Amino acid sequence: MKHSNDKAVFLGRVTASVTHEIQNVLAIIKETSGLMEDFLQMNQSEGLSDIEDRLNKCIETIKRQAYRGVTLTSSLNGFAHTPDSTLSSINIFETLKKLVFITDRLFKQKGVDVSIVECNNPYSITTDPVLFEMVVFSCTECLIDVFQIKTTLILNLQSSGDQTAIKFSYADDDLKYENFKQKIIQSVQWINICELCKQINIKAEVSTDIPGILLFFK
């Protein structure tokens, strides 16, 4: 039961964040269309010399937000179908990229940007998609919450021999974290990461050469 509840909490948390972003998109479109109406009324009464420029800027804003809204709803639709199968083959990089996009707001609220290094190799694994996303999310959240430093986190999909790994690290390599490994492994987030990894047969390690977390896939 706990297994199902954890999934539901994770899905609900991410979905709530994305729907909030969609509301922001609609609010901006509404405000911009109202501004266009004001400009048109002012032009009728006063004859604005720059009416065309003003309207074009409004149109660009609406178009930009419309595209953003389409991307958000498309991503949310894909995320909503993640639980359709408890075992399926997923492209690791594409899954990371989509997850980083739809969780962007949650981490920006903590003052952190999360980015992913481009990868052209189609590494795939057969796993539970929701649990995989939960592990990735938990690793990211762990590095943010344990040290509470406003910086950029980098997700880098790497491969060596027959082993593939995701490296979670800080963009600033010069930052020093006292007792880094000890603080990570003693955190509630790390306990959760280890439990999730056991369920989908992957391995998590704390990296100390460059402070971060490694997820290994066979």
Mean pLDDT, each 10-residue run in order, the chain (218 residues): 75 92 94 91 81 90 94 90 88 92 92 91 89 95 87 88 87 72 91 92 88 88
Question: What is the pLDDT, as a whole number, of residue 29?
Answer: 94
Chain Cα centroid distance, residue 179: 27
Angle of helix 129-147 relative to helix 188-200, nearest 10 degrees, comes to 160
Beta bridge partners, 214, equal: 167, 205
Question: What is the pLDDT, as a whole number, of residue 86?
Answer: 85
Does residue 205 contact residue 168 with C-beta atoms inside 8 Å? no
Return the domain boundaries, the chain.
2-80, 88-217
Q: Which two tokens stand for residue 218?
A: 């066979």
SS3 for 112? coil
CATH topology of domain 88-217: Heat Shock Protein 90 (3.30.565)
Does residue 91 contact residue 52 with C-beta atoms inside 8 Å? no
Task: List, as one string, the DSSP characters of 16-46.
Answer: HHHHHHHHHHHHHHHHHHHHHHHHHHHHHHH
181 exposed, middle or buried (CB, 10 Å; 0-12, 13-18, 19+)? middle
Question: What is the pLDDT, as a whole number, of residue 1?
Answer: 44
Question: What is the pLDDT, as a whole number, of residue 153?
Answer: 93
